[in-house]
């Protein structure tokens, strides 16, 4: 019962709509669809203009590429798929990410050692082992960092300084007494100062924009 009513309802509605459709589309349906025609024509013209303008704009890509390289401070020898260069800003951000996390951990390990060097040999040794692990991780990160050729000498010096410190801490960790541990402190501090100096040099070299002559 219900279904037959529904069917009848649909049939009636279908008839009414068919009638409407015939009216609507009679004579090509020009009257009822004029607004749509105007809208689609206007939008199509706008889109045509924009596509043509986009193609025209694309023809100047090469020239703008060179200008953009200089303007954004790109390092010319580092490739990035999207922008064709690595910008100083990109290097800066990556360098900051690298140094912030690793140096924070190294400082924490050093503080642990400083706290334990006169109290507990085991804790001091454990802090040194942790520091060696962190320093090794920092060294790995440095080796993976995309240093531009211009920064390579400073980067090499930094890597060597980190290596020297890691070696020194490793020797310190093998000490047999607290007094022997403390005997390394002066050399460790000196290696730390050398690392800081090298990091400043790397940072300065890294954040300096390339000159026009360096552009490809």
Partner 1 sequence: MSTTRDYQPGPYPREQGRYPAEPDLYPAGYESDDAREFWGDDRGAAADHQPRRRWSKIADEWMEGRIKFGGTGVKRKTAALILLGAWGFLPLFFMLPSLFTFNTNTIGGSVDDTLGTGAMVNLFMCLLVTPAVTLTRQRWFVPLRRWYGIMFACCGIGDALGAAFFDDFAGNPFAKLVEHTFTLIGFLMVLLAIPLFITSNNWAQRKMGRYWKRLQRLTYVIWGLLFFHLATLEGFGFQRGSNGSGFAGDGDAIFHQRLYQYCACSLFLLTVRLPPVKRWIAARQQEGRNRLVFMAVMPIFALFVFGFIFIVNELIFKGTHSFMENPSSE
Interaction site with partner 1 (CB under 8 A)? 2-3, 6-7, 10, 13-15, 17-18, 20-22, 24-25, 28-29, 32-33, 35-37, 39-41, 43-48, 50-51, 54, 57-58, 60-69, 72, 74, 80-85, 87, 89-91, 93-94, 97, 101
Q: Which is nearer to partner 1, 50 or 114 (CB)?
A: 50
CB of 86 to partner 1, least distance (A): 8
Q: Render the burial of 7-43: b for 16+ CB within 10 Å, e for the rest.
A: eeeeeeeeeeeeeeeeeeeeeeeeeeeeeeeeeeeee
Rounded CA separation 107/134 (Å): 10
169, 128 Cβ separation under 8 angstroms: yes
Q: Which is nearer to partner 1, 5 or 177 (CB)?
A: 5
CB of 184 to partner 1, least distance (A): 32
CB of 159 to partner 1, least distance (A): 20
124, 109 Cβ separation under 8 angstroms: no
Q: Rounded to the nearest 5°, which phi and psi values hold at 148?
A: -70, 155
Q: Which is nearer to partner 1, 28 or 213 (CB)?
A: 28
Length of the chain equals 216
Residue 73: how many CB atoms within 10 A of its CB? Answer: 18
Q: Which is nearer to partner 1, 61 or 120 (CB)?
A: 61
CB of 140 to partner 1, least distance (A): 13
CB of 56 to partner 1, least distance (A): 12
Q: Which is nearer to partner 1, 52 or 111 (CB)?
A: 52
Rounded CA separation 169/136 (Å): 11
């Amino acid at each position: 019962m219900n279904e037959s009513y529904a069917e009848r309802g649909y049939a009636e509605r279908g008839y009414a709509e068919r009638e409407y459709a015939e009216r609507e589309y009679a004579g090509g349906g020009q009257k009822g669809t004029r607004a749509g025609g105007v809208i689609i024509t206007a939008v199509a013209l706008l889109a045509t203009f924009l596509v043509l303008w986009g193609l025209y704009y694309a023809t100047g890509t090469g020239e703008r590429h060179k200008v953009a390289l200089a303007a954004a401070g790109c390092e010319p020898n580092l490739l990035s798929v999207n922008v064709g260069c690595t910008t100083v800003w990109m290097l800066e951000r990556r360098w900051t990410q690298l140094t912030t996390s690793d140096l924070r951990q190294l400082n924490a390990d050093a503080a642990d050692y400083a706290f334990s060097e006169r109290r507990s040999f085991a804790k001091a040794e454990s802090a040194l082992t942790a520091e060696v692990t962190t320093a090794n991780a920092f060294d790995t990160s440095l080796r993976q960092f995309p240093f531009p050729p211009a920064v390579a000498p400073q980067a090499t010096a930094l890597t060597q300084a980190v290596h020297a410190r890691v070696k020194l801490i490793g020797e310190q960790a093998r000490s047999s007494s607290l007094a022997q541990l403390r005997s390394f402190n002066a050399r460790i501090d000196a290696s730390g100062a050398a690392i800081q100096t090298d990091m400043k040099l790397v940072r300065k070299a890294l954040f300096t924009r390339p000159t026009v002559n360096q552009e490809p």
